[in-house]
Amino acid sequence: MYRVFFSTLLVVFVGLVGEQSLFGQKVDTEVVAFYNLENLFDTIDSEGVSDFEFTPEGKKKWNSKKYDTKIKHLAKVIADLGTEYNPKGAAIFGVAEVENISVLNDLVNADAVKDRGYEIIHFDSPDLRGIDVALLYRSDVFKVEESYIAPLEIYDENGEQVPTRDQLVVSGFLNGEKVYFIVNHWPSRYNGEESSRPFRKKAALLTRALVDYITVLDRKAKIIIMGDLNDDPDNESVLLHLRAHSIKSDLKKDDLFNATGLLFAEGKGTLPYRGSWNLFDQIIISTPLLNAKKNRYSFDSVHIFKPEYLLQPEGKYKGYTWRTYVGNYYHGGFSDHLPSFILLTK
């Protein structure tokens, strides 16, 4: 009898969403997510960036119909993610691989999400392809205090600067509580993991410097780092240079906790490659978010959003992410990445 009662109680507790009551105590849950949208380009050939392939005349034959499908698909993901924990979905959604503010406006005004009231923080970056990071936030729960970009300066073997994505820093109040966000898209492995490793080291050191700067100003700062790092949680850029670890007992003073590292240790990931999963889309937090205090947000759990509709249903790559393109072949899917997200509760 007691076992049945306990099981019923556990189901009731796990089923709580948003802000409800458990024995007179409020349980407030907010969802914080990140998603690489895989080349969310408009159909216009923009001057000064290499985006011609995503035009009707380019190799991909990118057109309004395909663009509208892409927007509809991505809006569905944003609408669905996290609703089992909070019916309003994610409070914060970091995104990568977006071309400009126009595509972001189309996304947040899509039918599936327009009633959420998402607002946008975006800056154009000097990336050669014109892709940027951005932060979407529900204005009913998050009030922006400050936002700025930190340029990442990297140079090739000839000493020439390689234009790449800036890192976006946003501070504000999540239901009245101060939180900082750093949104990343670190340099890719396009020319090989080893040859591009120094670029990601520089990116990690920049993120680390931003964390240290924020912490000097606010010793107990609650910082959430999110992004496509193009490295896994066990790569040196993350472990050594960013100082982010997934085992709490390994944390030393000023180290960061890699929430998504817990999933990677279980063999889970967000990006399939040659029969295994990378976990590039990471969410990393400062230790004040690990210390639960009454009426204050703390880290609860980490997840990868992996519904069946984001995966290829058949064929050689069954179970892989359902992409928009494979090379220049149009697949009509969502993205080559899966979103990751964490729950904050108080």
Average pLDDT over residues 150-178: 95
In a domain, 214, yes or no: yes
State the Cα–Cα distance between residues 316 and 187, nearest whole angstrom.
Answer: 29
The residues that bridge with 257 in the sheet, in sequence order, are 245, 285
pLDDT digits (tens, 9 = 90+) for 39-60: 999 999 998 899 999 999 999 9
Helix (H) or strand (E) holding 236: helix 236-236
In a domain, 343, yes or no: no
Q: Which domain covers residue 310, as residue numbers?
A: 30-338
The larger pLDDT score, comparing residue 4 to residue 266, is at: 266
| Amino acid making up residue 78 | I
pLDDT digits (tens, 9 = 90+) for 272-284: 988 899 999 999 9
Average model confidence (pLDDT) across the chain: 92
pLDDT digits (tens, 9 = 90+) for 104-148: 999 999 999 999 999 999 999 999 999 999 999 999 999 999 999
Instruction: Kindly state the tokens that stand for 214.
Output: 């924020």
In a domain, 150, yes or no: yes
The residues that bridge with 35 in the sheet, in sequence order, are 95
DSSP string of 120-183, one letter each residue: EEE-----TT--EEEEEEETTTEEEEEEEEE----B-TTS-B---PPEEEEEEEETTEEEEEEE
pLDDT digits (tens, 9 = 90+) for 316-340: 889 999 999 999 999 999 999 999 9
**Entry field: residues in the chain:** 346
CB-count exposure of residue 10 (10 Å: 0-12, 13-18, 19+):
exposed
Q: What pLDDT sits at residue 157?
A: 86
In a domain, 211, yes or no: yes
Q: Quick one: pLDDT band at residue 75, thresholds 50, 70, 90?
A: very high
330: number of Cβ within 10 Å: 15
Average pLDDT over residues 227-251: 96
Q: What pLDDT sits at residue 275?
A: 83
Q: What pLDDT sits at residue 26?
A: 57
The answer to whether 26 and 330 have CB atoms below 8 angstroms apart is no
State the Cα–Cα distance between residues 36 and 224, nearest whole angstrom.
Answer: 17
In a domain, 8, yes or no: no
Average pLDDT over residues 302-312: 97
Q: What pLDDT sits at residue 8?
A: 42
In a domain, 25, yes or no: no
Q: What pLDDT sits at residue 4?
A: 42
**CATH of residue 76:** 3.60.10.10
Reply yes or no on whether the pLDDT at 199 is more than 90.
Answer: yes
Query: CB within 8 A of 108, min separation 6: which ones?
Result: 114, 116, 118, 119, 120, 136
State the Cα–Cα distance between residues 147 and 168, nearest whole angstrom.
Answer: 7
Q: Quick one: pLDDT band at residue 295, thresholds 50, 70, 90?
A: confident
Q: Indicate if the alpha-carbon torsion angle 211, 208, 189, 132 is positive or negative.
A: positive
How many domains, the chain? Answer: 1
Q: What pLDDT sits at residue 341?
A: 98
In a domain, 23, yes or no: no
Q: Quick one: pLDDT band at residue 192, thresholds 50, 70, 90?
A: confident
In a domain, 188, yes or no: yes
Q: What pLDDT sits at residue 316?
A: 87
Burial code (b: 16+ CB inside 10 Å, e: under 16) for 111-135 equals ebbeebebebbbeebbbebbbbbbb
